[in-house]
Structure 1
Amino acid sequence: MCTYLTEKFECEGAGKGGSGWFTLSEGRVYVDHPYHACLEHTVNIDFVNPAEGPSARVAVELTEEAALALVDAIHKALAAAPPGLASTRRSG
């Protein structure tokens, strides 16, 4: 069953789509029927920049287990990095 609930969050970063790299401004997470994965339901994660149009989108469709493993891997990677390192800006 689809919930039609989408969790949105502001994000800063970059994504690579069919037209190359673009700036990210928003992330979306929802549980729904996948477009491509051969599964009944998936955790869908989109990274987008609505100002740049529909081609500025990176999408993934994950099983529940894979989504939870991703969350765990993100926590571990951030915990292993020195404080503040992941948000350090490049100069120039």
Structure 2
Amino acid sequence: MCTYTTEQVAISGSGKGAAGWFALQQATVYYDHPVHAMAGHTLNIDFADPSRGPAARVAVELTADSAEALVAAIRAALAAVPPGVREAG
């Protein structure tokens, strides 16, 4: 079921699209029908720099289980960073 709930968050990082690397300014996260993934519904994440138009976008469609596994992996990777190494961003 589509929730139509959309979360947006300001981010700082880089993404690689068809034209190469670009700065990322925003992530949009929502659960909906995918465009490409072979699943009925997916957690969709658009990493983007809206100031550069639609070409400055990296889209990801993940099954719910894959999205939860990714969240756990991100948390584990960040938890393993030694004190003083993690940069404020």
Distance 2:76 2:83 in 1: 13
> Match for 2:58: what amino acid?
V
Aligned to 1:26: 26
The runs of 5 or more residues in structure 1 that have no matched partner are none
SS in 2 for 1:37: coil
1:85 paired to 2:68 = no
Cα displacement (A) at 1:84: 4.7
The runs of 5 or more residues in structure 2 that have no matched partner are none
1:63 paired to 2:63 = yes
1:3 paired to 2:3 = yes
Q: Normalising by the residue count of structure 1, what TM-score does the alignment of the two structures yield?
A: 0.90
Provide the identity percentage.
Answer: 57
Aligned to 1:74: 74
Count of aligned residue pairs for this structure pair = 89
1:53 paired to 2:53 = yes
Aligned to 1:14: 14
1:40 paired to 2:35 = no
RMSD over aligned Cα atoms: 1.4
Distance 2:63 2:84 in 1: 31
Distance 2:33 2:8 in 1: 18
> Match for 2:66: what amino acid?
A
Q: Normalising by the residue count of structure 2, what TM-score does the alignment of the two structures yield?
A: 0.93
Distance 2:83 2:58 in 1: 28
Runs of 4+ with deviation above 4 angstroms: none
